[in-house]
């Protein structure tokens, strides 16, 4: 296993061309690396920042092998990549995080079973394969509960809440998948997440750094806001960082892992989802931490010392969806006149409702002040505030 550092001047390969890859590429370019990316869409957000963009599907093995030949290490900002593609890449170039990390986390069944097998706290769940098993799972877990697809679920896609009077035959028909995961419905006090970085430290040792947790609010299943420092008891924040670090170690992650949690009303933490890449809830780190999650990803995959994830200021991050453009281009000058507001736009050409087009961060002495500035920002953008 090669653990030699991959130094500035080398070329980093990124699978996926979205906004996470864009911000990763910005961090890499700042430190003197070249960046190549693969994405099916021409002029992708990452491609705009890259030295070379390969426009190809993720199952085009010849193109992936050409891409691999031109880079020193490959990472990703998107985990729904065919295992055959990962195997082809891993035979030609260093892949971080590794193939098995993606294989587990890109499928809810494998992810939940990994967490359960390794005694990490998760909501009660059952795996189902047909309508009869769905009925048995609902009877065992009770209602309300939620049916989720095993593959390709994010931002609430592929999920159905099941209530007491649900037509389970119709639920299964809408599910339209061979395998599903039924989970108990968790009434939570808060949703939070932790991004943790893990990298080689030489001689079989590893370095781990966990970012401060954020408390997150969602609207229509899409992350709306994240705040740090999280308004949580210090013991809960520390426990979340500890669990996230333990999961990263058990998965043998080299790179980043984002861990989403439910905090129950009784003070328990339950792991909801894993993402082996930068995470939307970690965007605040670009402006408010000594080292951003994107630079930390770069440091980890290149075998460099991990940076300091310390929070420098209270911060609120808000996603900007395509809905903001409903009445034309937003009034960016007025928005940017607000104190402590930092704007990030992703270079996407078409604004569609629900599409993540950018975000802003508000840095203030207190979270209360940050929320006040956010309310003004929401008025300027013509959308409802908190």
DSSP string, 349-367: S---TT-EEEEEEEE-SSH
Cα 101 to Cα 116: distance, rounded to the nearest angstrom: 16
CB contact set of 89 (below 8 Å; sequence gap of 6+) = 64, 65, 68, 74, 95
Q: 180-184 and 205-210 as β-strands: parallel, antiparallel, unpaired? A: unpaired
Averaged over 131-149, what is the pLDDT? 96
Handedness of CA 110, 113, 119, 124 (dihedral sign): positive
Averaged over 126-154, what is the pLDDT? 92
Query: What DSSP string describes 157-207?
Result: TTEEEE-TT--HHHHHHHH-SS-EEEEEPP-EEEEEEEEEEEEEEETTEEE
In this predicted structure, the answer to whether residue 66 has a pLDDT above a threshold of 80 is yes
Higher-pLDDT residue of 156, 35: 35
pLDDT at 154: 58
| 17 and 37 Cβ atoms separated by less than 8 Å | yes
Sheet with 159-162: list strands edge to edge. 125-128, 180-184, 145-149, 159-162
The mean of the pLDDT values for the chain is 95
Averaged over 68-76, what is the pLDDT? 98
CA separation, residue 24 to residues 14, 84, 156, 275, 335 (Å)? 9, 25, 25, 15, 25
| 127 and 109 Cβ atoms separated by less than 8 Å | yes
Averaged over 29-40, what is the pLDDT? 98
Cα 115 to Cα 83: distance, rounded to the nearest angstrom: 21
Beta-bridge mates of residue 214: 193
Averaged over 153-175, what is the pLDDT? 85
Averaged over 88-113, what is the pLDDT? 96
CA separation, residue 69 to residues 37, 83, 89, 106 (Å)? 13, 19, 9, 25
Cα 290 to Cα 164: distance, rounded to the nearest angstrom: 49
| 268 and 260 Cβ atoms separated by less than 8 Å | no
Query: What DSSP string describes 37-79?
Result: EE-SSTT-TTTTTSSEEE---TT-HHHHHHHHHT-SEEEES--
Q: What is the CATH number of domain 188-381?
A: 3.30.470.20
Secondary structure in 3-state letters for 75-139: EECCCCCCHHHHHHHHCCCEECCCHHHHHHHCEHHHHHHHHHHCCCCECCEEEECCHHHHHHHHH
Domain ranges, ordered by start, for the chain: 11-95, 124-184, 188-381
Domain 11-95 -> CATH class: alpha beta
Q: What pLDDT digit, counting tens, does each position of 336-356 carry?
A: 999 999 999 999 999 999 999
Averaged over 253-281, what is the pLDDT? 97
In this predicted structure, the answer to whether residue 385 has a pLDDT above a threshold of 70 is no
Going by pLDDT thresholds of 50, 70 and 90, the confidence category of residue 370 is very high
What whole-number percentage of the chain has pLDDT above 70? 97
Q: What pLDDT digit, counting tens, does each position of 288-336 carry?
A: 999 999 999 999 999 999 999 999 999 999 999 999 999 899 999 999 9
Going by pLDDT thresholds of 50, 70 and 90, the confidence category of residue 221 is confident
The residue to which tokens 């792991």 are assigned:
271
Domain 124-184 -> CATH class: alpha beta
| CB atoms inside a 10 Å sphere around CB 340 | 18
| 232 and 190 Cβ atoms separated by less than 8 Å | yes
In this predicted structure, the answer to whether residue 93 has a pLDDT above a threshold of 80 is yes
Cα 216 to Cα 272: distance, rounded to the nearest angstrom: 13
In this predicted structure, the answer to whether residue 155 has a pLDDT above a threshold of 70 is no
Going by pLDDT thresholds of 50, 70 and 90, the confidence category of residue 2 is confident
pLDDT at 383: 83
Query: Token pair for residue 233?
Result: 């008891």
């Amino acid at each position: 296993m090669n653990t030699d550092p991959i130094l500035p001047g080398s070329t980093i390969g990124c699978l996926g061309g979205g906004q996470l890859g864009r911000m990763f590429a910005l961090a890499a370019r700042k430190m003197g690396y070249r960046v190549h990316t693969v994405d099916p869409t021409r002029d992708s957000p990452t491609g705009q920042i890259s030295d070379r963009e390969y426009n190809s599907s993720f199952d085009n093995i010849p193109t992936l092998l050409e891409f691999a030949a031109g880079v020193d290490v490959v990472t990703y900002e998107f985990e729904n990549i065919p295992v055959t593609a990962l195997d082809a890449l891993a035979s030609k170039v260093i892949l971080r995080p590794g193939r098995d990390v993606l294989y587990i986390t890109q499928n809810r069944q494998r992810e939940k079973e990994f967490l359960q097998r390794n005694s990490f706290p998760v909501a009660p769940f059952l795996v189902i394969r047909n309508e009869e098993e769905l009925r048995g799972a609902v009877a065992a877990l009770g209602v309300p509960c939620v049916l989720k697809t095993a593959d390709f679920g994010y931002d609430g896609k592929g999920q159905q809440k099941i209530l007491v009077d649900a037509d389970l035959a119709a639920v299964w028909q809408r599910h339209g998948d061979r395998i599903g995961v039924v989970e108990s419905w968790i009434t939570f006090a808060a949703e939070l997440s932790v991004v943790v970085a893990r990298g080689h430290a030489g001689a079989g040792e590893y370095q781990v750094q966990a970012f401060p947790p954020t408390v997150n609010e969602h609207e229509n299943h899409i992350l709306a806001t994240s705040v740090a420092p999280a308004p949580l008891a210090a013991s809960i924040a520390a426990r979340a960082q500890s669990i996230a670090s333990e999961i990263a170690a058990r998965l043998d992650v080299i790179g980043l892992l984002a861990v989403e949690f439910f905090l129950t009303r009784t003070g328990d933490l339950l792991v909801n989802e894993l993402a082996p890449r930068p995470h939307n809830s970690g965007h605040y780190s670009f402006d408010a931490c000594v080292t951003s999650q994107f630079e930390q990803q770069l440091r980890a995959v290149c075998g460099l010392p991990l940076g300091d994830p310390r929070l420098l200021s209270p911060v609120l991050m808000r996603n900007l969806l395509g809905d903001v453009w409903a009445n034309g281009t937003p009034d960016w000058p007025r928005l940017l006149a607000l104190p402590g507001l930092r704007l990030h736009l992703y270079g996407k050409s078409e604004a569609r409702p629900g599409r993540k087009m950018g975000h802003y961060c508000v840095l203030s002495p207190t979270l209360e002040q940050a929320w006040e500035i956010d309310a003004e920002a929401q008025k300027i953008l013509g959308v409802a505030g908190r």
